[in-house]
Amino acid sequence: MTTGPHEHVTPPAGLRERVLEASLRARLAGHTVPPVPRISPDEAFSRAADAFYGLLCALDEPAWRLHVLRDLDVQGLAGHLIGVEEDVQRALSGHPAPDHQDHVTSTQPAADRQAGRAAAATRTDWRRAADRTLAVVRGADMAAEVTVWGIPLPLSALLVARAFELWTHENDIRRVAGLPASVPDVPTLRLMTELATSMLPFGAMLAGLQGPVNLRLVLTGPGGGTWDVVIGGDAPEPVAIGIVTDVVDFCRLAANRLDPADLDMHVTGDRSRAAGVLAAASALALD
Amino acid sequence: MPATLGLVWLADPATERTASTRCPAAANRASVPWVEATDALLTARLAAGDDRALADAFDRLGPAVYGAALRVLGEWNAAQDVAQDVFVELWSHPDRYDPAAGSLRTYLTVLARRRAIDVVRSELRRIARQERNHRLTPPPGVASPSDEVEAAEAAGVVRAAVRLLPDSQREVVELAYFGGLSYREVALAIGIPEGTAKSRLRLALARLESVLDRQLLEMS
Q: Residue ranges per domain, chain A?
A: 41-182, 190-284
Q: Residue ranges per domain, chain B?
A: 37-119, 156-219
Task: Decide if A30 touches B, using CB distance below 8 A.
Answer: yes
Task: Tell me if domain B37-119 and domain B156-219 are identical in fold.
Answer: no
Distance CA A219, CA A227 (A): 8
* Secondary structure element (H or E) that encloses residue A250, with its range: helix A247-254
Q: Given B5, B47, B74, which is nearest A202 (Cβ)? A: B5
**Residues 6+ away with beta carbon under 8 Å from B142:** none
Q: Given A18, A150, A260, which is nearest B27 (Cβ)? A: A260
Task: Decide if A121 touches B, using CB distance below 8 A.
Answer: no
* Local structure of A238: helix, strand or coil: coil
* B128: Cα separation from own chain's centroid: 23
Burial B95-107 (b: 16+ CB within 10 A, else e): eebeeeeeebbeb
Distance CA A93, CA A91 (A): 5
Measured between beta carbons, the chain A residues lying within 8 angstroms of B54 are 20, 23-24
Residue B18: pLDDT band (50, 70, 90) is very low
Strands (E) across A25-123 are located at 67-69, 72-73
Q: Given B7, B51, B66, which is nearest A199 (Cβ)? A: B7
Is the pLDDT higher at A90 or at B212?
A90
Class of A190-284 per CATH?
alpha beta
Residue B215: pLDDT band (50, 70, 90) is very low
Measured between beta carbons, the chain B residues lying within 8 angstroms of A286 are 7, 10
Cβ pair A278:B8 closer than 8 A? no
Residue A48: pLDDT band (50, 70, 90) is very high
Contact status, residue B205 vs residue B121, Cβ threshold 8 Å: yes
Distance CA A16, CA B83 (A): 10
Poorest-confidence range of A12-26, A137-151, B128-142, B169-183?
B128-142
Distance CA A141, CA A163 (A): 18
Mean pLDDT for B29-34 is: 38
Cβ pair B94:A33 closer than 8 A? yes
Cβ pair B92:A26 closer than 8 A? yes
**Residues 6+ away with beta carbon under 8 Å from B161:** B208, B211, B212, B216
* pLDDT digits 0-9 by tens, B115-156: 999 998 888 888 878 777 776 665 555 556 565 555 555 556
- Is the model's pLDDT at A173 over the cut of 90? yes
B213: nearest CA in chain A? Answer: A1
- With CA atoms as reference, report the closest residue to A272 among A213, A205, A206, A198: A213
Distance CA A266, CA B185 (A): 58
Poorest-confidence range of A16-25, A231-240, B206-215?
B206-215
Backbone φ/ψ region at A30: left (φ over 0), alpha (ψ -120 to 50), beta: left
Cα maximum dimension of chain B: 93
Number of alpha carbons in the 13 Å side-chain half-sphere of residue A115 = 7
Backbone φ/ψ region at B141: left (φ over 0), alpha (ψ -120 to 50), beta: left
Tell me, what's the pLDDT at B130? 78
Mean pLDDT for A241-249 is: 95
Tell me, what's the pLDDT at A159? 96
Residue A162: pLDDT band (50, 70, 90) is very high
B61: nearest CA in chain A? Answer: A8
Contact status, residue A106 vs residue A87, Cβ threshold 8 Å: yes
Burial class of residue A209 (count of CB atoms within 10 Å of its CB; 0-12, 13-18, 19+): buried
Enter the CATH code of domain B37-119. 1.10.1740.10
A198: nearest CA in chain B? Answer: B4
Cβ pair B58:A16 closer than 8 A? yes
Question: Which of A:49-68 have CB within 8 Å of B?
Answer: none
Domain A41-182 belongs to what topology?
Four Helix Bundle (Hemerythrin (Met), subunit A) (1.20.120)
Class of B156-219 per CATH?
mainly alpha
**Mean pLDDT comparison of A266-275, B30-39, B166-175, highest-scoring range:** A266-275
CA distance A8 to chain B (A): 4
Number of alpha carbons in the 13 Å side-chain half-sphere of residue B182 = 3
ipTM: 0.88
Distance CA B173, CA B175 (A): 5
Task: Decide if A262 touches B, using CB distance below 8 A.
Answer: yes
A278: nearest CA in chain B? Answer: B27
Cβ pair B58:A207 closer than 8 A? no
Task: Decide if A143 touches B, using CB distance below 8 A.
Answer: no
**Residues 6+ away with beta carbon under 8 Å from B189:** B175, B181
Cβ pair A149:B35 closer than 8 A? no
Task: Decide if A13 touches B, using CB distance below 8 A.
Answer: no
- Is the model's pLDDT at B88 over the cut of 50? yes
A-B CB pairs within 8 A amount to 243
Task: Decide if A161 touches B, using CB distance below 8 A.
Answer: yes
